[in-house]
Amino acid sequence: MIEKFYIEMIHKEIDGFISETERKKLHRYLETTSEAKKYYAQLSQTSEFLDKMPRLEASPNIKKYVMNSIDVKRYATSRKFFGNKSILTKPVIKLAFAFSLGILCGIFVYAGILQQISERTANNSDLYGSIGVIDTAKFETVKEIPIVLPELSGTLAVKRLGNNIDIQTILNSQQPTEMLIEYDESFLKLVRFTLANSTKTFFDPGEKNVRISSGGDMQFTLSFTDVHIENDIIAVKLFSDGRLIDAQEISL
């Protein structure tokens, strides 16, 4: 049986978040554990297959196409008349409609699965972008926090324009870096993520938090809408090579 710790390390290796130290430790374990080695190989092949799979979106007219493809006459039955009453003899039409409904549900489920697969790279097109709706030059810097740590350095600037808040972050590091920002969704709404450099960066918005990570340097802006317009607070946590190195609360 594969240990849970090494299963997580295999997932980090596949996703590209593993450090060099962890990678060496993982491959030593794979050399001595055949079950883990087989699991790693299967996961790698699956990941490569999914990366090559094209994105498929269901057409808005798909229901119309499916219903029009059914030959109703084929399943229709003759009417029998008994006095002044008429009835349909067999429930074949009901069976045909149930069959078509099953096909329709299957297509929607398949399209949904493909959409989730295509989104596993954390593209998030509704939030990810490099062009803001509001002129950032009009924002006023209300707070600028220097980040000086042995593992990384940079700055975090909070800028405001009315109920619009930008959090501009610059992080310099030679190791895998991750920032986790936690916030109250009843006060703040995340509306945009803007990447400012060409470094491969992963953007993963979750429930009441957003996670940004890369193999080193990061420059990005998170844009929020202040729903309540109060002294909102966010919690910022910094990780280097998988280790928590700093945590603090910032008032907006």
Cβ atoms of 95 and 75 within 8 Å: the answer is yes
Q: What gap in Å lies between CA 41 and CA 209, rounded to an integer?
A: 32
For residue 185, which phi and psi values (nearest 5 degrees)?
-70, -15
Q: What is the pLDDT along the chain (252 residues), one digit of tens a residue?
A: 788 888 888 888 888 888 888 888 888 888 888 888 888 888 888 877 777 766 666 666 666 666 666 666 665 555 554 444 444 445 656 677 677 777 877 787 777 666 654 444 344 444 444 344 556 778 899 899 999 999 899 999 999 888 899 999 999 998 899 999 999 888 889 999 998 876 788 889 888 899 999 988 889 999 998 887 666 789 999 998 889 999 999 887
Q: What gap in Å lies between CA 133 and CA 102, rounded to an integer?
A: 43
Distance of CA 228 to the CA centre of its chain: 26
User: CA separation (Å) from 114 to 35, 39, 49?
Assistant: 29, 23, 12
User: Does domain 136-251 fall into CATH 2.60.40.740?
Assistant: yes
- CA-closest candidate to residue 206, choices 225, 183, 235, 234: 183
What are the sequence ranges of the domains in the chain? 4-52, 62-121, 136-251
Give this prediction's pTM: 0.47
Cβ atoms of 215 and 154 within 8 Å: the answer is no
- CA-closest candidate to residue 45, choices 4, 14, 87, 91: 14
Q: Is 124 left (phi over 0), alpha (psi -120 to 50) or beta?
A: left
Q: What gap in Å lies between CA 139 and CA 152, rounded to an integer?
A: 27
